[in-house]
Chain A
Amino acid sequence: MLRVKNLTKVYEDGTVALDNVSFEVPDGQFVAIIGLSGSGKSTLLRCINRLIEPTSGEIWWNDVKLSHISGEELRRARRKIGMIFQHFNLVDRSSVLTNVLSGRLGYVNPIASILKRFPPEDIERAYANLERVGIRDKAHNRADELSGGQRQRVGIARALMQEPELILADEPVASLDPALAHSIMRHLQQINQEDNITVLCSLHFLDLVQQYSTRAIALNKGQLVFDGRPEEIDDERFAEIYGREAERIG
C-alpha cells in the first residue's frame, strides 16, 4: 500500500509543482496519472522514489516512510521500486544485457558488481526477462543500436530485474508510435496482473488511460483534481482536469 499525505514540492525557483497532494494506492492497482504538461506528474512520481526531494508531507510504502529515509535505507527501499522513463534512460554505450543486469545493483555484492560480475542466477533472470519482453536476441547489442520500442522493453526488463513491488512509469509511451505504445502498455498491464505489482503510470492519452488503468488520478497545477475510475471522466470532468479551452480528441 502506497500512502501519500499532504505532499508538497516547491522548486528552488519558487514553482509549486505539487500542492498538498494526498491519496492512497492499495496493492495491485494500475493507476494512471493524468494532467496537462507541467501539472506535476513527473514531480509526483520522482518524489515517491526520492529522485526529487519533497518539500513537505509524507510518503509511505507499507511501513517505510519513504519521504524521510536516506542512505542505505533509501537504497533498500528503492530497489523494490522499479522506474520506467519516457526517454528510456538506458546507458547507450553499454550492452542490453548490462543495462538489464543493472536492475540488480541494489541486491548484489557491491564489489563484484563494480567488476561487472553478477551471480549466474541473475544472468539467467536477465535473459528470462528479455525473453518476456521479446528481445532476447538483442542481449549483446549495444543499447543505442535498438529502436525506440525495443529500448523501452529493455527499460521494462531492467525494472523487472528489481523484483519490484511497485513500478513508477513516467510517460512510458510518449516517445513511441501508437502501435508500439499499445504493445508497451500491454506489457505493463501483464506485469500488473500476473505479478500483482502496483503500477503508477503517467499518461497523456485518455484512450490509453481508459484501456489499461483501473484508476485515474488527475493533477492540475500541482493539485489533485480528480481521483476515480477512468470511465468517470466525462466531458465535464475533462474540462476540470485539462481546462475549459481544451478540446477532447480521440
Chain B
Amino acid sequence: MRRLERLALAIVLLVVVGIPAAVLSYQALGRGGRDDILVVIRTAERGGFSPSRIVVRQGQRVRLRLLAEDVTHGFQLLHFGVDAGAIKTGTIKTVEFTADKTGEFPFYCSVRCSALHMALMGTLIVEP
C-alpha cells in the first residue's frame, strides 16, 4: 500500500509539474535546431508580425514558416518575389528565397485582416 501511495504521488507530480516543464522546454529548446524561421502573424491590434524584424545574412537561403494566428492573413515580400497568398487561420505556409541583396525590405499582409490591415507590416534586414 505504501509503495502504491508513493507511485501515485510520483504520477501526480509527473503530471502536474512534468507536463508544463516538458511543454515549455520543448518550445524553448527543442525547436532551436531548425534552420527555418517561424513568423506568427496577428492583426496589428494584437501585435502584428512576430518577429517583426527578421535579420539574415546576404547569400543565405531563407525559409520562413508563416503561421496565421487569429484570422486569415497574407504575406508579401515583393523585393524577393515572395507572395504567399492567403494563409488561413491556424495554418502554416512555408516560403523560401535567397537573400541576394543587402538592405532593409518591408513585408506586408496582403489579405484584409482588420481596420489596421494597412499597418500590418514588418522588416527584413539583410546584412552583408
State whether these chains interact.
Answer: no
